[in-house]
Amino acid sequence: KAGVTQTPRYLIKTRGQQVTLSCSPISGHRSVSWYQQTPGQGLQFLFEYFSETQRNKGNFPGRFSGRQFSNSRSEMNVSTLELGDSALYLCASSLQGEPNYGYTFGSGTRLTVV
Amino acid sequence: DAKTTQPPSMDCAEGRAANLPCNHSTISGNEYVYWYRQIHSQGPQYIIHGLKNNETNEMASLIITEDRKSSTLILPHATLRDTAVYYCIVRVNTNAGKSTFGDGTTLTVKP
């Protein structure tokens, strides 16, 4: 079956702009999580959505937001981009309430802010 | 989520077993141990998880000590493609979606 699909794979933006990243989870998965990965901070949790509701949120400023649609697809948005937002953004999906499943990650979107 | 401690790096000879340790001395009774790995420039890949019993799947085995304060991931016959960063995560399953990834262990499999 198809894995987690993230688009676009690469993106270059300038400071001050905004960006929207997309994630299509595995069919049937209702939980979608977003992570930011940078060389200095490692993998950091951004937020998690389940059934169109944000269920968990990490320690990121309000410039980072997200949403989930009825088909479980999710988007995250970063407004007023800063150089420090350059990172690999990873999306992961999972069946909810199933202790026998881990998370399946996508290949990520590499965002470069110049 | 409980904090985990892993060695920063390990080497393993190709074909030999790779044993990756993880300490989680503050683990709570309802927290699971999960292992993921990340091969360069790819998203993390789920390997295995367990609560208190040892677990085995097609990729690896997970040994959890009786007091659950530490665990070991075993790759029985390491190959060059197993070179990756391995993350040990402890979390309550009902809080799925918010995992705290530490620095992990960089495993280098050498020919």
* A100 pLDDT higher than 70: no
Q: What is the pLDDT of residues A24-58, one digit of tens each?
A: 999 988 889 999 999 888 889 999 998 899 988 99
DSSP state of B89: E
Nearest to B98 among A56, A97, A106 (CB): A56
Q: Tell me which H or E stretch contains A21.
A: strand A19-24
Quote the pLDDT of residue A74: 97
B44·A107 Cβ contact <8 A: no
Lowest pLDDT segment from A93-97, B3-7, B18-22: A93-97
Report whether pLDDT(A109) > 70. yes
Looking from the CA of B63 toward its CB, the CA atoms found within 13 Å total 10
Chain B nearest-CA distance from A3, in A, is 11
The pLDDT of B64-89, averaged and rounded, is: 96
Query: How confident is the model at residue B53, as a pLDDT?
Result: 87
Per residue in A61-95, pLDDT (tens digit) is 999 999 999 999 999 999 999 999 999 999 999 88
Classify residue A106 by burial, with Cβ atoms within 10 Å: 0-12, 13-18, 19+: buried
pLDDT in the model for residue A89: 97
User: Model confidence over B27-53: pLDDT tens digits?
Assistant: 988 889 999 999 987 899 999 999 998
pLDDT value of position B91: 83
Q: Report yes or no: B79 at the A interface, CB cutoff 8 Å.
A: no
Report the pLDDT averaged over residues B20-28.
94
Cross-chain CB nearest to A103 (options B42, B46, B102): B46
Residue A97: its pLDDT value, please? 47
Confirm if B24 and B73 have CB atoms less than 8 A apart.
no
Report pLDDT for A99.
53
Which tokens go with B87? 């993350």
Confidence class of residue B97 from pLDDT cuts 50, 70 and 90?
low
Write out the E strands in B51-83: 55-56, 61-64, 70-75
Calculate mean pLDDT across residues B66-87: 96
Q: Report the percent of chain B where pLDDT is more than 70.
A: 94
Contact yes or no for A97 and B46 at CB 8 A? no
Percent of chain B with pLDDT over 90: 76
Which chain A residue's Cα is nearest to B55?
A100
